[in-house]
Structure 1
Amino acid sequence: MFQKAINVFIAVLLFSGLSNCQSEQKFTHDLWSVKFAESFLARHPGAVTYDQYMTKDDWNYEQGLMLESLRKMYYYTGEKKYYRFIKDNLDQYINEDGSIRTYKLSDYNIDNIKPAGAVLFVYQITGEEKYKIALDTLYKQLINMPRTESGGFWHKKIYPYQMWLDGLYMGQPFYAEYSKVFNLPENFDDITHQVKLVYEKTLDKETGLLYHAWDESRQQKWADPETGKSPHFWGRAIGWYMMALVDVLDFLPQTHPDRQAIIDILNQQTEALLKVRDDSANVWYQVLNMHGREGNYLEASASCMFVYAIAKGVNNGYLPEKYLAEAQKSFEGILKQFVKLEDDGYYNLYGTCRGAGLGGKPYRDGSYEYYISEPTRINDFKGYGPLIMAAMELEKADALRRNQTKVALDNYFNNEYRKNKATGQLEPFHYIWEDTTDSGYYELGKLFTKYGAKISELKEAPTAGNLADSDVYIIVDPDTEKETEKPNYIGSKDVKNINEWVRNGGILLILANDKGNCEFEHLNKLANNFGFTFNEVSLNRVDGKKYDMGAFVNLPFNPVFAGVDKIYMKEISTINNPEPVETLLKKEGQAVMIFKKVGKGYLFAVGDPWIYNEYIDNRRLPEDFQNYRAAENWVKWILQLDYVSEN
């Protein structure tokens, strides 16, 4: 039995590329997203600024875009360097009192909202009050933005009654995320109104494309006197809008009445954009529908934005599968047309329009001649950030198509609530996907989805019916009365249902805890059914920050610890296993982690929740601990076991 698991383990090693001879020596992985992100960090070691020495720095949307791409890279790779860069960058702007250097709320410039997503990310990790103060300031600007008569945000105070497509990406994803995190559901109607309004006001029904902007007052020279629309289809403007659509959908409730309308817009725009893609290069022009007109040029940032939005749309089920091949074709076009490996060993992106707008001083009239007059810049952030994100989504797409495993995390036996210190409202937490704090499984969820799994939470007792919808079922640290007023204990019916499901091919993962933190009496009824018992002990106790007290070293060679020298696991229980099992990890001669074949399915058990955010994000642990790599190995192995159980 275990030989089959070892064969799966070998497949995992090949899949993971732990030893990839073909990757450039400079890079940690032979993935385009990693190559691009690490090239950026090498060229900008201090902060997001075109001058790496910070002689000119501003709180602005380009910074926000790059930080967003690195936030996604952090969750994609687990590499602490991305988090550190984001936090270090923000700390150059956010003072200890929460004020933001160079930022003025009174400017009411929606571009300045974009870095707020990175601030929210760091606040959720650190809980530091200065980030919450900064967040609330940015949110205050957003909800008090001047509006058109029809309720749309002005692009800036200096551009009255104007909505630009750009502004949807600058403001709406943060508006949606903040509203979800701080439980402000009343905002979602306003968010979808912004998205639909600018679509309605900028749509050209003949081509299906969107004009760059709309002036409700019809006062601007660039505005059509009847419609208020600007005169041309600028690629990057629609790129901003497309990215806004897929990112807002991350946070918009599944039951919101406008959700399908947003998805429909994404589908319509994708179809329209593919009609104006260059047939030879498979990328897009600066002015989208002016192929062959003198002066028009193929433009990188719009092409990267479109690929990101289309690939993510397919990955998340918003767009038909047929569009994935189109996104891949355009990404190959980007690599050929715009990307170059330089002599220093790092990648450059060419062909991004440096900037384009409307009105202002000197006046920008929105003419064709204006748009093509704007020069390009090497490694312009407006292209480089979307380049990283486009590569990442296509890599995810590859994993998704290799693996469709459905992973359900119990939220019935483990069902804890706490008071949100910012809102005062009760919120679920502790070993659940949506908990981004130290106690959550947010980052574990990202690992599962990175490798193609579909994650969910099972908020009811396990039955034959609801377990049938899952390939993997995870039970973590069931509640005691100390943790939940009325715990849902594992009963005999639950044991029967879980047992039958596993024997028919399910994969059960049980992550317990130590004495004093775990409800052993009923959990062990489930464990005993599979021939083992969790011992009510507490080993590997750690004094403060003496992390080595919780270390495991000289790790055995098995699917979980391949390429791993040292992990951290504190306050653990052990396992008594009289029946034959494979022991993956021991402490003082006692099993801590086991694995066994059960009928057509598999069982894995460990005496600790182990892979929650605090101990796989490596923000707190010293560099030599490799919990993230072990967690990544574990996830890939479990997903490969699902394949074996079905074939």
Structure 2
Amino acid sequence: MNAIQHNREKLLQLIDRVIEKMKLMTNEDMEETCPIGIISMENWEWPQGVGLFSLYLYYQETGREDILDYLEQWFDNQLRKGVPPLNVNTICPLLTLTYLHELRPKGRYLEQLHQGAHYVMREMPRTEEGGLQHVVSGVLNEGQLWDDTLYMTVLFLTRYGTLTGDPAYTDESVRQFLVHLKYLTDPETGLFFHGWTFHGHHHFARALWGRGNAWYTAGLVDYLDMTDPPAGVKLFLSGSLERQAKALERLQASSGRWHTLLTDTSSYEETSATAAFAYGLLKAIRCGYLSGDYKSMALRAFEGVVDQIDGDGIVRGVSYGTGMGRTLQEYKDIPLCPMPYGQSMALLMLVEGLKQDFLSP
């Protein structure tokens, strides 16, 4: 299916199929290894958080009240059940709650947002130099920085600052971007290592993991939507994005996708990372953070993801949740299965496609 041949109506139909499958996803065919399930949308964890945010962006583009109704029902049900202990990953759903509260304000929404922001600023464990330690459900990961953290927690922190008008949260978000880039950037390639530990001072397997890199590509363009950092910081972050884009251009497979280990062609091609790269690149070009020179790469990625969406709307070629690998082989051995973040990262990309000039009316 050629992305250039899509018209808006066909793209909207595809989006609806992807959303339907995301909402109905279960773990029947996959044994969960995470303490909180990361497949079903009935749970509160980072994959569900990414899914909620993609739905909000779809609502923002279309004004469909049924999407907003779903978000409200999801949060009301979860808050009734009780939110699991807060950590880097369980903060992620709160990003969407900041937007929902602006549209349909409720006291319990604001209370949960206050609790989340207080936890991040005052209680979340820190590494040296004040980095947010990548504590997750069941694991403290002492002294560790992971590239996932910027998307899962720092975007929420930024939005909370905007919601409350308190610049302390924006200032903290700037520090987190700078600290993470300081320790996770590979100076040789311009890509990002999955993690860094201050206990031993190393990058674990030195994995240039696809989805981890994609969290920066997708997260940065949304971060710059949410706040206006100092000009020098914005130039620095955009420069890191452009250097990453140059590396991605060299590493893109003929299918339009990227490998789960970006520089290792013996690792499988992975769809969720490709979708987030396509989303971030297309949006960065549209917003002027990147030049149009990268558009052909982004469109090949767009098409490569669409080719992985089956007739039922399930996004194929998505890797299961990936912890910090101590060897590169561990990344190659992560199983492939439909995941809510595969659906939602494809949804981010498809919704951005609605804003692009390659669609016919």
Same fold flag (TM > 0.5) = yes
Question: Higher helix proportion, which one?
Answer: 2
Distance 1:64 1:195 in 2: 20
Distance 1:40 1:281 in 2: 21
Identity of aligned residues (%): 25
Letter in 2 for 1:216: F
Q: Which residue of 1 aligns with 2:194?
A: 212
| Secondary structure of 2:225 counterpart | coil
Q: Which residue of 2 aligns with 1:310?
A: 281
Quick one: which of 65, 75, 91 aligns to 1:113? 91
Please report how far the alpha carbon of residue 215 of structure 1 lies from its aligned counterpart in structure 2 after TM superposition.
0.4
Q: Which residue of 1 aligns with 2:31?
A: none
Any conservation in 2 of the 1:286–1:298 contact (CA below 8 Å)?
A: yes
Q: Which residue of 2 aligns with 1:125?
A: 103
Any conservation in 1 of the 2:98–2:163 contact (CA below 8 Å)?
A: no
Q: Does residue 1:353 correspond to 2:319, yes or no? A: yes
Letter in 1 for 2:221: V
Please report how far the alpha carbon of residue 112 of structure 1 lies from its aligned counterpart in structure 2 after TM superposition.
0.8
Please report how far the alpha carbon of residue 184 of structure 1 lies from its aligned counterpart in structure 2 after TM superposition.
1.1
Any conservation in 1 of the 2:15–2:350 contact (CA below 8 Å)?
A: no
Q: Which residue of 2 aligns with 1:369?
A: 329
Map 1:150-549 to 2 at 5 A. Answer: 150-156=129-135, 158-218=140-200, 226-253=201-228, 255-278=230-253, 280-291=254-265, 293=266, 296-336=267-307, 338-341=308-311, 346-358=312-324, 365-378=325-338, 380-398=339-357
Letter in 1 for 2:207: H
- Summarize deviations over 1:521-540 as a string: whole Å, max 9, x none: xxxxxxxxxxxxxxxxxxxx
Any conservation in 2 of the 1:58–1:102 contact (CA below 8 Å)?
A: no
| Secondary structure of 2:175 counterpart | helix
Map 1:24-63 to 2 at 5 A. Answer: 30-32=9-11, 34-43=12-21, 50=27, 57-63=42-48
- Summarize deviations over 1:402-440 as a string: whole Å, max 9, x none: 9xxxxxxxxxxxxxxxxxxxxxxxxxxxxxxxxxxxxxx
Please report how far the alpha carbon of residue 189 of structure 1 lies from its aligned counterpart in structure 2 after TM superposition.
2.6
* Larger-Rg structure: 1
Distance 1:44 1:334 in 2: 16
Distance 1:85 1:114 in 2: 17
Q: 1:159 to 1:254 in 2, by over 3 A?
A: closer
CA RMSD of aligned residues (A): 2.4
Distance 2:207 2:152 in 1: 21
Question: Higher strand proportion, which one?
Answer: 1
| Secondary structure of 2:134 counterpart | coil
Letter in 1 for 2:15: A
Bigger relative CO (Cα 8 Å, ≥ 6 apart): 2
Please report how far the alpha carbon of residue 186 of structure 1 lies from its aligned counterpart in structure 2 after TM superposition.
2.7
Aligned residue pairs: how many? 342
Please report how far the alpha carbon of residue 177 of structure 1 lies from its aligned counterpart in structure 2 after TM superposition.
1.2
Letter in 2 for 1:152: G
TM-score for both structures, normalised by structure 2: 0.88
Q: 1:333 to 1:247 in 2, by over 3 A?
A: same
Unaligned runs of 5+ in 2: 1-5, 29-38
- Summarize deviations over 1:109-165 as a string: whole Å, max 9, x none: 201111002211221112210110111111112112111111110010611111100
Any conservation in 1 of the 2:56–2:96 contact (CA below 8 Å)?
A: yes
Q: Which residue of 2 aligns with 1:477?
A: none
Distance 2:126 2:354 in 1: 40
Distance 2:314 2:234 in 1: 37
Q: Which residue of 2 aligns with 1:78?
A: 63
Q: Which residue of 2 aligns with 1:103?
A: 84
Runs of 4+ in 1 over 6 A off after TM superposition: none
Any conservation in 1 of the 2:192–2:208 contact (CA below 8 Å)?
A: yes
Q: Which residue of 2 aligns with 1:410?
A: none
Any conservation in 2 of the 1:203–1:209 contact (CA below 8 Å)?
A: yes
Please report how far the alpha carbon of residue 228 of structure 1 lies from its aligned counterpart in structure 2 after TM superposition.
4.2
| Secondary structure of 1:93 counterpart | helix
| Secondary structure of 2:310 counterpart | strand
Distance 1:259 1:310 in 2: 16
Distance 1:268 1:187 in 2: 27
Distance 2:333 2:23 in 1: 32
Please report how far the alpha carbon of residue 191 of structure 1 lies from its aligned counterpart in structure 2 after TM superposition.
0.9
| Secondary structure of 2:244 counterpart | helix
